[in-house]
Structure 1
Amino acid sequence: MRSSMKTSFAVASSFILAASASFAQTALFSDAPAAVPAQDGGTATDNSALTPITPKLHEVILGLPIDTQRFNEHVIVLSSPWMGGRLPGTPGMEFAMDYMEYWLKRANIEPGVPSSDGSPATYRQAFDLGGRRVAKDQSVSITPTGGAAFSLVTNQDVQLSGLGSEGNAEGGIAFVGYGIEQGPEGYTSFTADHSLEGKVALCFRFEPMDEAGKSKWSGGDGWSAQAGFQGKLAAIAKRKPSAIIVINPPGADDPRATSLTTSGGRSLVQMPVFMMSADAADRVLQAADPKSRSIMALRTEADNAGASFDLTGATAAVSATYEEKKTKAENIIGILKGKGTLASEYIIVGGHLDHLGNGDFGSREGPGKLHPGADDNASGVAGVMIIAEDLSAKYAAAPADANLRSVLFMGFTAEESGLNGSRHYVEHPLYPLKDTVLMMNFDMIGRMTKDRLSVTGANSAKGMLEWAKPIFDRGGCTVVINEAMGGGGSDHASFRAVNVPFLFGIIADFHEDYHTSRDVSELIDRESGIKAVRLWEDLAWEMAQRAERFEFDDQSGPMRGTTIRVRIGMRTKDAEDGSGIEVSDVTKDGISDKAGVLKGDHVVKFNKEAIKTREDLVRELRKLEPSGEVQIVITRAGEEKTLFLKLGSE
């Protein structure tokens, strides 16, 4: 065992215990409240009014099926803060890979990556993921009027973030409170007559707080959506300052207020963006504020009302450059060797192990918050590991003369940044793709609504749907056959591109916590998720024994239709009452948002065609070019409305 794995699992045991406690909480208390996911990272639960009841915790845990216990443990460990959001190239991702490797080894799944030099096989398929932008040179200095300039200390007073761009800037200093364009009850950080153009803008992180340092707007623990970096940086940047410095506000009830974040895999604004400590901000104010206010005094002012003004006693100069550092990535691959005449053919059971770290890219909230990725995709990888354990036992018990295909268990890396891990595998396969008879992909199975599991790819091979349907019917899930998704969105797409039949399982109804800091383990439906795992295991076991392989069918139904070339900025789900499809999420400032579409609207017509299912909508989207205008008819509170989407405006 590698030394890093020994360290990892000394720590992991504590998270397994926490997993059991978290899962059983609502069974142990009457009227137990749901965990409250904190908007700027973390969760909190108010236990003040809980009344203990029986059974006891250990009785609840011991009463669960072993696979449900395993699912619970895996999801919470993989989505714990210790994993850091499982961003490739970080210690948290290394811990996650160690964890999956450990469980494959424990299940007697052999290393699946042969060496080229005769050394023992490993579980790691390594490759170069490409460059990661990190700070190279940075500086911030303050020049008081009539005084000597002084520099702030990098990594102590200030830190260049990944939220902006390279550049040099020098100018006056302006303070803009929390940098919030429009908050509750008319709150705004900006005034029409205060220009930021060419100045270095200072703003607070988070949002207006009470005396305890908690949000005034979230209605509970954590922060509202107004606290995110994306909105405040955009609001400031459009007023054309030369640089932005985000200050950690004093007294904030958030552990991140005492550290300087470097989060941000992509630029949100085209100007340098720095983080600054509260102590450093106090020193800047001593030099720049003619009224000699403290940073706490400015926080109080911004907490109570919008604050925007110049600090005329000094100027600021900043400099920022980045460099690219190579990131190494690794797929985790184990093999359960087959038997008899089918042993040289392969089934892949996989899911992506990575997630978004602190929202460095791909976040619907913006960077700066831990994104645990409990559903996406700790739930899917948990399923892969459980299937590995169960199939290994079945193979061991099979007769010596049984014919069974080999099964590859894969935890793909860097899926979130573009299917990089699965694409690397199909470009550098370790086992012949021509002998790979089925790829089974799990991505988000932990929060099904009414046990509804969407399955794509059942028509990717001739006769596969007919073979699979009886298995679907006897499984515990309500399987929704999705013929319109094509191959995109997850790692099965890489295998579809090289003509490997596939099955893709995912929740049929997306939730609002997808790609946010709110995708936490407390919200995972363990009993529902394990039903999907059992179904996938049943399919894999039946396919392992099936004498004939399936023939890939590139013309199988609507899924092979024209590529969708437009994105309209909404997520949908089939309405339970059959009244078209329901809008479950609208991207802020996207095409649908600009047209007036709201969450909860029901789409009944699109492009003048009736819409009854999501497949109908996809069919119409395939017809569109990324320009022009399209009519959409929605119902809202019983009233029908006609709206127009301006394509290409997103």
Structure 2
Amino acid sequence: MKRPFEMFAVTAWTALTLCVGSAPTSLPAAEHAEVVERVGEDIRYLASDELEGRGPATKGLEQAAEHMIKRFQQLGLTSGAEDGSYRQPFEIAIDTKVIEPKTSLVLRGPDGQELKLELGKDFQPLAIGGGGKLQADVVFAGYGISAPKFKYDDYDGADVEGKVVVVIRREPQQDDEKSPFDGKKVTSHSYIRTKLQTAKKRKAAAVLLINDVFTTGPKNADELVTSSTFGTRGMGIPFAHLTQAVVGQVLAKTPIQVGETKLTDAAGLERHIDETLKPVSQPLAGWTAELEFGFESVKANVANVVGVIEGDGPLANETIVIGAHYDHLGYGPFGSRRPQRREVHNGADDNATGTAAVMELSRRLSQRDKKPARRLVFIGFSAEERGIIGSNYYIEHPLIPLEDTVAMINFDMIGHLQDKGLLLGGVQSAQGFAGLVEQANGEDTIKVNTSGPMGGSDHSGFYRKGIPVFAFFTGMTDLYHTPDDDFDTINVEGVVETINFAERLLDQVIALPERPKFVKSKAKPQRGGAMAYLGVVPDYADTGEGLRVTDVNKDSPADTGGMKAGDFIIKIGEIDVPDIQGLANGLRKYKAGQKVDFVVRRGKEEKTLKVTLGQPKKGS
């Protein structure tokens, strides 16, 4: 699940509590118990180890889709797809892998030594750097950090233009509370992206990374990371992970000279820099690197699941979408908050609960004596965890015209209803929605918090298209995106209570005499420390071609600067933008009021747009 705000940030809800009614449930006790058991079984199945965390390219994701399809078929819902399959298929990129025949690394020394390194044992190319082929001299560049604020610069006086630089992972004195690099806390200078950006700025040809002592630990576990560990979008500079043993062979022949001291291994280099906090960058005289790194994207076929209950009457052509994403993280590490634990991430709360809610509502609405006044489209979105891809795909390729879609109701993580109540986003997205909430909550005692940011789950794309939304959410927990988000942590009674309220609210929307009038919320200035405001909706899907702009907010800095939907942002000032993190880096580096060059690709043409950034925003 992507958490709130239209641009990839996690924001705390500020709550306005609305509590109406007194009855604990509107269902008879026996029926209520039956519903709790039925909904619980759906959640239990979807969050079982058998479904492998419902990750892309797992059998479990397909099993989850089949579970929804069979339910829709049993209930008599028609297929939203023309071929009757209930599926809207699409393809996503899930990884980047090394092309072995196009990958090699050879180090040649001053006396004709030749170290032909073994892929996966001695070195590992990293996709975040990108592919390339070159031969160049080798320079040791310390930690690869340029930090004038801390009076430390590994590149000061070092000629690295056109050279291959060898750098140490992380940053100096990282286990020292007195370190100028914010004590034991990590600064941005330790980030892989920052190291690559810095090397590119200094016009280095490639970067070779070695582990630091902090990473290898007391057991000296000098392990190589996988090709996609740090990301999958190339930053335009070949990048590989080397073992300390390989660097040790180089240093044994060509030590780093510091005064009378010769440093002959990686640990000694790191120790010297940490003790003195002085860079020792210098050429590894006579050594060259000849490298070729090739990568290819790994794709997966996934599908949205769509079932329809047709409406009846004069408003039958108007559509209400009821949705939830049914995918999760699989075995990680992508998206996991515990990436070191290569275990199944069952995603009970995120989002087996929301998926169960969609199926339960489809049951209730399909079993009524009369058809609804408006068409109801029930959707299980896929690839939400990869960047809200499934719902955005539906919006770009709607199975029911968006102009006929009058509202969207989304469920994402509704498994932890507690005293704080239900967090209901979107109440301000249409005139009269607040009144509908009050009417719907007239029977049950359920706290409904209706103030806060719109949120960034599958409803957000509908909102961008001017469609009113409701977004159901019961709050974040420490289990979020960990292997511990299991069925036994779920408040199933709370899920059913949420579904009961959602059914009554849906009935209110169905019964509206006219389509709800969309209201776009006004973003409010945010206090310091936030990113500058650009006003674009990014496409989280992995294309490897820069960051695609899905939409541009009217009268925003991006709009005023000439940016258009479909542009690919390549660069912000001196910051490369291969992905969403690159955009975040650029908007943090440059401040509101600055006029910054944005390099975008539009079709086959590159353009430079001058954009004056705005004040940080929140709330939309």
TM-score by length of 2: 0.60
Q: 1:297 is matched with which residue?
A: 268
1:204 is matched by which residue type in structure 2? I
Q: 1:149-176: CA deviations, max 9, x gaps?
A: 3322233322221222444443332233
Is residue 2:275 matched to residue 1:331? Answer: no
Secondary structure, counterpart of 1:557 in structure 2: coil
Distance 1:478 1:148 in 2: 71
Alignment of 1:374-523 (within 5 A): 379=349, 381-388=351-358, 390-391=360-361, 394=364, 408-415=377-384, 419-430=388-399, 438-443=407-412, 450-451=420-421, 453-456=423-426, 459-460=429-430, 463-471=432-440, 474=444, 476-481=446-451, 489-496=456-463, 501-505=468-472, 520=482
Distance 2:193 2:409 in 1: 36
Counterpart pick for 2:201 among 229, 238, 245: 238
Counterpart pick for 1:538 among 485, 501, 504: 501
Q: By how many angstroms is 1:194 displaced?
A: 3.5
Alignment of 1:25-36 (within 5 A): none
**Identical pairs, percent:** 21
- Cα pair distance change 1:538/1:558, threshold 3 Å: same
Q: By how many angstroms is 1:350 displaced?
A: 2.0
Distance 2:79 2:246 in 1: 51
Distance 1:183 1:531 in 2: 53
Secondary structure, counterpart of 2:439 in structure 1: helix
Alignment of 1:106-125 (within 5 A): 122=85, 124-125=87-88
Secondary structure, counterpart of 2:450 in structure 1: strand
Distance 1:68 1:232 in 2: 49
Secondary structure, counterpart of 1:178 in structure 2: coil
Secondary structure, counterpart of 1:423 in structure 2: helix
Q: 1:204 is matched with which residue?
A: 168
Q: 1:327-350: CA deviations, max 9, x gaps?
A: 344234154868998999864332
- Cα pair distance change 1:481/1:624, threshold 3 Å: farther
Alignment of 1:185-196 (within 5 A): 188=152, 190=154, 192-196=156-160
Q: 1:646 is matched with which residue?
A: 593
Is residue 2:236 matched to residue 1:270? Answer: yes
1:646 is matched by which residue type in structure 2? G
Q: By how many angstroms is 1:122 displaced?
A: 4.7
1:200 is matched by which residue type in structure 2? V
Alignment of 1:303-322 (within 5 A): 304=275, 306=277, 307-310=279-282, 312-320=284-292, 322=294
Distance 1:477 1:288 in 2: 69
Distance 1:255 1:76 in 2: 34
Is residue 2:144 matched to residue 1:179? Answer: yes
Q: By how many angstroms is 1:209 displaced?
A: 8.0
Q: By how many angstroms is 1:541 displaced?
A: 4.9
**8 A contact 1:355–1:371 mirrored in 2:** no
Secondary structure, counterpart of 1:257 in structure 2: coil
- Cα pair distance change 1:438/1:536, threshold 3 Å: farther
**8 A contact 1:459–1:557 mirrored in 2:** yes
Distance 2:94 2:482 in 1: 29
Q: By how many angstroms is 1:456 displaced?
A: 1.3
**8 A contact 1:202–1:245 mirrored in 2:** yes
Q: By how many angstroms is 1:145 displaced?
A: 0.3
2:138 is matched by which residue type in structure 1? I
Distance 2:483 2:183 in 1: 22
Secondary structure, counterpart of 1:280 in structure 2: helix
- Cα pair distance change 1:204/1:180, threshold 3 Å: same
Q: By how many angstroms is 1:420 displaced?
A: 3.6
- Cα pair distance change 1:620/1:313, threshold 3 Å: closer
Q: 2:12 is matched with which residue?
A: none
Counterpart pick for 1:252 among 216, 230, 245: 216
Secondary structure, counterpart of 1:128 in structure 2: strand
- For structure 2, the 5+ residue unaligned runs are 1-35, 257-261, 535-552, 563-590, 597-612, 614-620
Counterpart pick for 2:511 among 548, 568, 575: 548
TM-score by length of 1: 0.57
Secondary structure, counterpart of 2:194 in structure 1: helix
Distance 1:626 1:283 in 2: 53
Q: 1:608 is matched with which residue?
A: none
Q: By how many angstroms is 1:244 displaced?
A: 0.4
- Cα pair distance change 1:270/1:373, threshold 3 Å: farther
Secondary structure, counterpart of 2:197 in structure 1: helix
Secondary structure, counterpart of 1:146 in structure 2: coil
Q: By how many angstroms is 1:144 displaced?
A: 0.4
**8 A contact 1:458–1:503 mirrored in 2:** no
Counterpart pick for 2:322 among 338, 349, 371: 349
The count of corresponding residues between Structure 1 and Structure 2 is 498
1:282 is matched by which residue type in structure 2? G
Greater mean deviation of Cα atoms: 189-198 or 234-243 = 189-198
Distance 1:154 1:166 in 2: 15
Is residue 2:117 matched to residue 1:152? Answer: yes
Q: 1:431-465: CA deviations, max 9, x gaps?
A: 566775542123566799944725216543x6544
Q: RMSD between aligned alpha carbons? A: 5.9
Distance 1:372 1:455 in 2: 32
1:283 is matched by which residue type in structure 2? Q
Distance 2:494 2:377 in 1: 21
- Cα pair distance change 1:546/1:504, threshold 3 Å: closer
Secondary structure, counterpart of 2:216 in structure 1: coil
Distance 1:446 1:311 in 2: 57
**8 A contact 1:591–1:645 mirrored in 2:** yes
Q: 1:126 is matched with which residue?
A: 89
Q: By how many angstroms is 1:98 displaced?
A: 3.6
**8 A contact 1:355–1:373 mirrored in 2:** no
- Cα pair distance change 1:292/1:181, threshold 3 Å: closer
Greater mean deviation of Cα atoms: 125-134 or 519-528 = 519-528
Distance 2:428 2:378 in 1: 20
Greater mean deviation of Cα atoms: 68-77 or 343-352 = 68-77
Q: 1:487-514: CA deviations, max 9, x gaps?
A: x954334445666543234579x99x9x
Secondary structure, counterpart of 1:646 in structure 2: coil
